[in-house]
Structure 1
Amino acid sequence: MTQTVLLVDDDMMVREALGQSLELNGLCVIAAGSYVEAKDHLLADFPGVVLSDIRMPGKDGFALLSHAQAVDAELPVILLTGEGDVPTAVRGMSEGAFDFLEKPCDPKTLLSVIGRALQTRRLVLENRALKAKAKIGDAAARLLIGESMLADELRAQVRAAASTKAEVLICGEPGSGTSKVAEVLHLLSGDATRPFVKLAASGLTGEALLAGVARAEGGTLFLDEVGALDGAVQFQLLEMLEHPGNWRMVAGSYRDLDAEQANGRFNADLFYKLDLLRIRIPALRERKDDIPLLFRHYVSISSEQAALTPPEIGQDIIAQLMAQDWPGNARALMNAAMRFSMGLGLSQMDSATDDGGLGLAEQMAQVERSLLMDALKRHSGAATAAAKELKLPRKTFYDKLTRHGIRPEAFRD
């Protein structure tokens, strides 16, 4: 995203001086001298932030803030004033300004605030792009996320299987998403408007199986972890499949059913019946290129569900994610994204020494993180009060929060 700042100030000398300063720091500046000039630049998905003086002839900075929010409620607007007072600052923040600064403003402070605003804007636009992409294409494109070759192959297998009525066996490690693939298979089939019935094979009785088949009439019956099916119920299912009805059988397994049937622990006839079409879900460690995209997707969903602004996902976070083997696959990544979106960071993935204990740096980091979180809890997420308690400058405090992946809003009542 272009690092763009819409700079609005009626004083030409101030406007030019600020504009030059921002440009020298690598920012693209669009200068405007009034509300009327500025508003024409504000469109939905504006690729940057607004830095506006409050006192201007005609409509002032508060009017511009209101207009910007009407165009795009998530567009950061930073307000500047040469006559700073508490009521004005309170009004600016209560009306939704990203921050409020008094002129003349310290250049480092201004750049820090603009930097945070641009990061927030970038995340908002990235999440919008992800959501827009998720609405494009068929169910496989929307729900089986990934840009790797293995992800493409998986989608191709699912689409091919969906065009038939044959039984399908979906194999994948725990947490890899066998249920999700089965659901997509159903959505792509000609029976998408009919029932999709999911049953857990573990502990399933013959009566429950019969009831599930009845509910799946005209649609799809998905048996999750079919390898756990009781021997008698395996035989009952085989009999049902040998007398086809108006329903489709899809089974999922993380066990090695080839070995299970070879050792007599799984009915061989049922195995060959189910294994007519096999779809293998690659483990997450086999398609690591998909991890950043998946993590951003899960963070976006988790943040939206918790009514939080998605946190910044820096390259240090991506590096930590890519360094993991993810034995829990997509489910574990989703859980990590949920914790991260709630401001709990990625502490569960801290590096350790060879003997399994944390090194001094890791222990110190955990202590610091704990102190930051405790202060935020005591002040209900009020960052300024927490920083004051810890005797930290505001910028240092925010830098530490970012490094630890802690979000003040997650501690607010």
Structure 2
Amino acid sequence: MTRRVLVVDDDAAVRSALAQTLELADLSPITAGSFIEAKDHISAGFEGVVLSDIRMPGRDGFHLLGHSQSVDAELPVILLTGEGDIPMAVRAMGQGAFGFLEKPCPPAELVSVIERALQTRALVLENRRLKAQLEAGDAAARMLFGNSAQADALRARVRIVAQAGAEVLVSGPPGSGISKVAEVVHLCSAHAKGPFVKRAAAALDPAGFEDACAEAAGGALFLDEVGNLPPDTQFAAFDRIEAGVPARVIAGTSADLSEAVANGAFMADLFYRLDVMRVRIPSLAERPEDIPVLFRHYVAQASEQAGLSPPEITADVIARLMAQDWPGNARALMSAAMRFALGLGSEEEARDTGLGLAEQMAQVERSLLIEALRRTGGRAAVAAERLKLPRKTFYDKLARYGLKPEDFRQ
């Protein structure tokens, strides 16, 4: 999210001083001298917060607060005054102001309040985007989250495979969401209205496989961890699929089936019969920029289920998440989000990454580079300037982490 701050004050010198303070804190100020000038910048999708003086000619800061809330009730507005008193502060907070500060306000305090407001705004906009994604588009858009190039490629692949109609092999590391991707393949297909039947392959005997096919008629049969299918069921499944089944067969595996074929643990003919169309799910380590998006979604989901307000997700929390490898992938991240939403996760637990200091610092550095490129739309020179890095050093770091500015351009 662009770190914009709409600064509203009728005193040009004060506006200039506030804007300079915010620029030094790597924020992007937009200045306005009155209610009339400011209101044109305020919208429901405004990616920032409002910082306004209270006492201004004509319509004052309270009028601006009311207008902001009429446009977007969740847009943070911070009010400033040089004549502050307790009744005014009570009125400001009672009317929904995010914060109330007296001038002159120490720069550190001002920036701290704005940073909290920006974090709150980012969470609100992300939740709205996710909700809109859930309510619009196909199942791939609604159920497979992420803003990375890998997430885009996964959704595109799922859509292509879904329309093909042939058998599908979904592979990915443990905890990556193989079952969910299999279901999305089904929901994006022409038989989405048919049943989606899931069976643990290890528990299926030949008769059980036949029953599952009948139950999934007109829809899809998902064989979870197909590599664990018993030998006699493998032969029965191959014969049945070759003869024709009333349901589409989608197999999932977190193991290397080609290795299982090579050592004789899995029937080669069945493997090639299932491996007609393949979908590979990338690990979180391959797409770390999706970690904040997924974590916010899981926290919002867990909070809603528990009937709680989502807790604040600070930059420090995100940095600690980005410093982890997440070998358990989405499943482990979801568990961490649930603990966080319920107030059960400790900071010590979040710091216990199993990595040395150098590895943790490298992952945090990579996440900061990604965030800078995203905020600047892939403009490397601007990103380098924001990070206060010489251009050569910036490009050296991009090369070290395999990052390309063009991947972030819109």
Q: Secondary structure at the match of 1:186?
A: helix
1:299 to 292, 296, 299: 296
Question: Does 251-260 or 340-349 show the bigger shift?
Answer: 340-349
Counterpart mapping for 1:83-98 below 5 A: 83-98=83-98
What displacement does 1:156 show? 5.1
The change in CA–CA distance for 1:211 and 1:46 in structure 2 (over 3 A counts) is same
Alignment match, 1:177: 177
Deviations, residues 205-239 of structure 1 (Å, cap 9, x unaligned): 56654443333221111111122234444444344
What is the RMSD computed on CA atoms of the aligned residues? 3.7
SS of 1:189 mapped into structure 2: coil
Q: How many residues align?
A: 345
Q: Secondary structure at the match of 1:273?
A: helix
Q: CA distance change for structure 1 residues 88 and 175 in 2, over 3 Å: closer, same or farther?
A: same
State how 1:8-407 maps to structure 2 within 5 Å: 8=9, 12=10, 15-25=11-21, 26=23, 28-34=29-35, 38-54=38-54, 60-125=60-125, 128=128, 139-140=139-140, 143-145=143-145, 151=151, 154-155=154-155, 157-204=157-204, 209-285=209-285, 287=286, 290-303=287-300, 305-306=302-303, 307-308=309-310, 311-313=313-315, 317-318=318-319, 320-339=320-339, 344=345, 347-350=348-351
SS at 1:49 equivalent: strand
Write the distance in 2 (CA, Å) between the matches of 1:33 and 1:160: 53
Q: For 2:3 and 2:173, how far apart are their aligned partners in 1? A: 41
Please say if residues 295 and 333 of structure 1, whose CA atoms lie closer than 8 Å, have aligned partners that are also in contact. Answer: no
One-letter code aligned to 1:16 = A
For the residues of structure 1 that align with 2:138 and 2:349, how far apart are their CA atoms?
36
Contact 1:19 1:29 in 2 (8 A): no
The answer as to whether partners of 2:175 and 2:331 remain within 8 angstroms in 1 is: yes
Cα deviation code 1:138-161 (max 9, x no counterpart): 544554455666556545543443
Asked which structure has the greater CA Rg, the reply is 1
Counterpart CA distance in 2 for 1:279 and 1:103 is 58
**TM-score normalised by L of structure 2:** 0.69
Query: Counterpart of 1:5?
Result: 6
The farther-off stretch of 189-198 and 262-271 is: 262-271
Q: Which amino acid aligns with 1:198?
A: K
Secondary structure of the corresponding residue to residue 279 of structure 2: strand
State how far apart, in whole Å, the 1-side matches of 2:206 and 2:110 are: 69
Cα offset for 1:302?
1.9
Contact residue 178 and residue 253 of structure 1 kept, 8 A: yes
Deviation track 1:336-379 (CA, whole Å, cap 9, x = no partner) reads: 4444566647643536899x9x9xxxxxxxxxxxxxxxxxxxxx
Cα pair distance change 1:101/1:324, threshold 3 Å: closer
**Structure 1 residues 41 and 296, CA, compared in 2 at 3 Å: closer, same or farther?**
same
Q: Distance in 2 between matches of 1:50 and 1:340?
A: 29
CA change 1:299–1:346 in 2 (3 A) is: farther
Q: Return the letter of the residue paired with 1:292.
A: E
8 Å CA contact retained: 2:148, 2:290: no
In structure 1, C-alpha distance between the alignment counterparts of 2:42 and 2:149, rounded to whole Å: 39
Q: Counterparts of 1:325 and 1:235 in 2: how far apart (Å)? A: 39
* Distance in 2 of aligned mates of 1:353 and 1:294: 18
What percentage of aligned pairs have identical amino acids? 52
Offset from partner CA, 1:125-180 (integer Å, 9 cap, x none): 45555666777865445544556665565455434432333222222221122112
Query: Taking structure 1 as reference, are residues 87 and 151 closer, same or farther at Cα in structure 2, changes over 3 Å only?
Result: closer
- 2:201 touches 2:224 (CA, 8 Å); kept in 1? yes
Q: Please state how far the C-alpha of 1:19 moved relative to its aligned partner.
A: 0.8
Change (3 A) 1:282 1:38: closer
Distance 2:354 2:45 in 1: 45
Tell me the residue number matched to 2:393: none
- Measured in 2, the distance between the counterparts of 1:152 and 1:324 equals 23
Unaligned segments of structure 1, at least 5 residues: 359-413
Letter in 2 for 1:311: I
| Structure 2 CA distance for partners of 1:237 and 1:348, relative to 1, 3 Å | same
- After superposition, the Cα gap between the structure-2 partners of 1:342 and 1:60, relative to the gap in structure 1 and judged at 3 Å, is farther
Alpha-carbon contact 2:302-2:341 (below 8 Å) kept? no
User: Partners in 2 of 1:227 and 1:135 — Cα distance?
Assistant: 35
Give SS of 2:202's match.
coil
